[in-house]
Amino acid sequence: MTTTGDDHAAAVTGPWWWQRPRSAVLDVGLALLSAAECAVEGVAFARETGLPVPVGVVFGLLAGASLVVRRRWPIAVVLVGIAVAPAQMGLLLGLVGLYTLAASELPRRIIGVLSGMSLVATLIVTFVRVRQDLMHGDVQLGEWVVPTVAVSTAVGVTAPPVLLGLYVGARRRLMESLRERAGSLERELQLLADRAEERAEWARGEERTRIAREMHDVVAHRVSLMVVHAAALQAVARKDPEKAVRNAALVGDMGRQALTELREMLGVLRSGEGTPSSAFGGGGSAAPGSPSASGAAGAGSGTGTVGAAGPGAGAAAQGWAPSSQVPLAAVGAAAAAAASRAVAQDGGEGPSLAELEELVGQSRAAGMAVELLVEGEVRVYASVVEQTAYRVVQEALTNVHKHAGGARTRVRLAHRGAEVAMQVENEPPPGGVPDAGLPSGGNGLVGMRERVSALGGVFVSGPTDAGGFRVSAVLPVS
């Protein structure tokens, strides 16, 4: 990449006004040559004017040495060259001065005026000198010779350095423009790279959060029911051995399902190279980069998002997923597929509103007094809407198991024209029923709100006047 901007300014390493040491050496060398030329020509000038020779030499030395400041004050150098033109000295001074003037950043009108003054001065001096030489000589030439020689000399001495200087100046400005453009492009590319990195980091964070929410959906509800069944088993173990056996079987089944689903997700997280198919043991599934795997990931995101299942689940999702090694899309697909298996053993795409009765039945089997009320005409909605509605009810029931064991609970589902509404409300728990003692990370309500908001819905939660708790959500169906 070329040096641009501040880097180009920092490249100035020469003394005084020179950008580079070699520029200083060149100018000093030209000044010495011009001073020597003018000093020699000053001897003839002093003899013609009757001045002492040392005066003419010193005058020539000072005039020729002015080239040393040609980069700093090009106008002064050209004016000096015009001033010494009648003395017939300073040819190198005039040529280099005009070139430097034309190549500088001065306005074109100033360059044109000074170049014209130099042209006129050279024309006049040449005309007078040639005419005097012809008058004192023996050779007789036509009158047209003097103007022709004067014009040719003036143009030949003035035009080439000016044109060359204009070309060099234009080329220099073009190079500087290209440097600035390259610098601007480099800064834009750096900005784009920074933004891309920020977007990638944001995407990794979103994927980790989604993985944690899917793990919460898969594991938290089953574990909560397991704890409730274990408490019931402890209470009836001696009084009703048959019921205790049933509760023990339920706890075993739920535990095995939860462990299987958790093992599938953590297997992908630990391997860093696995795919959803390898995690599930299904050799016929597509790789993460294939369309089918992308569809699985989409189904996972379509299930919505619920907060991580306590500190443990959040740590598992974030601690086992380094962004540089773990294919987060594959993990999300694995989590989504595991969540689907938890409630769709027949191979469906995920939980739906038709399975709310089964979900409520699981809570009844755990000892919760819960009723389900369905209002309006039952319809089939988009899978993402049904999955989100299911997850909201599931998380609300899980919270009742955690914080209000034994409380009467009502689940209402209302099918409306352009929306579907759900509400889970529980009464205060009976005073004699102990708390289930389940840990809570405080992320369940946050996850439900994020799920509903992602679909453009409305989510409200809070305590009731009677001392219970209510969770309400409204989802647009379009």
Read off the pLDDT of residues 86-133 as tens digits, 9 standing for 90 and up: 888 888 999 999 999 999 988 999 999 999 999 999 999 888 888 887
Give tens-digit pLDDT for 455-472. Answer: 999 999 999 999 999 999
453 CB contacts (<8 Å, ≥6 apart)?
459
pLDDT at position 476 is 94
pLDDT at position 240 is 76
CA distance 467 to 289: 51
Give tens-digit pLDDT for 302-356. Answer: 333 333 333 333 333 333 333 344 444 554 555 555 545 544 443 445 688 999 9
Residue 53's Cβ-side half-sphere holds a number of Cα atoms within 13 Å equal to 3
pLDDT at position 303 is 37
Residue 203 in this model has a pLDDT that exceeds 80:
yes
What residues are paired with 420 via a beta bridge? 415, 475
CA distance 188 to 185: 5
pLDDT at position 192 is 93
CA distance 232 to 176: 82
pLDDT at position 331 is 46
CA distance 355 to 348: 12
Report the SS3 class of residue 94.
helix
Q: Mean per-residue pLDDT for 423-441?
A: 71
Q: Mean per-residue pLDDT for 191-208?
A: 89
Confidence of residue 442 (pLDDT cuts 50, 70, 90): low
Neighbours of 58 (CB within 10 A): 14
pLDDT at position 461 is 93
Confidence of residue 434 (pLDDT cuts 50, 70, 90): low
Tallying the residues shown for the chain, one arrives at 478
pLDDT at position 334 is 52
Per-residue b/e over 193-224, b at no fewer than 16 CB within 10 Å? eeeeeeeeeeebeebbbbbbbbbbbbbbbbbb
pLDDT at position 57 is 92
Instruction: Using alpha carbons, select from 389, 396, 408, 376 the residue that is nearest to residue 462.
Output: 396
Average pLDDT over the chain reads 77
CA distance 418 to 194: 42
pLDDT at position 142 is 66
Report the SS3 class of residue 103.
helix
Confidence of residue 282 (pLDDT cuts 50, 70, 90): very low
Q: Which one is predicted more confidently, 218 or 73?
A: 73
pLDDT at position 217 is 67
pLDDT at position 113 is 94
Q: Which one is predicted more confidently, 297 or 71?
A: 71
Q: What are the structure tokens assigned to 42, written together?
A: 């000053």
Q: What are the structure tokens assigned to 8, written together?
A: 């180009």
251 residue type, one letter? V
CA distance 379 to 107: 79
What residues are paired with 476 via a beta bridge? 419
pLDDT at position 398 is 86
pLDDT at position 319 is 38
Give tens-digit pLDDT for 38-85. Answer: 999 889 888 888 889 899 899 999 998 998 998 889 999 999 999 998
CA distance 401 to 72: 86
Rg over alpha carbons for the chain, rounded to the nearest Å, is 46
Confidence of residue 295 (pLDDT cuts 50, 70, 90): very low
CA distance 160 to 168: 12
Residue 298 in this model has a pLDDT that exceeds 60:
no
Q: Name residue, tokens 């439900």.
A: 448
pTM of structure:
0.45
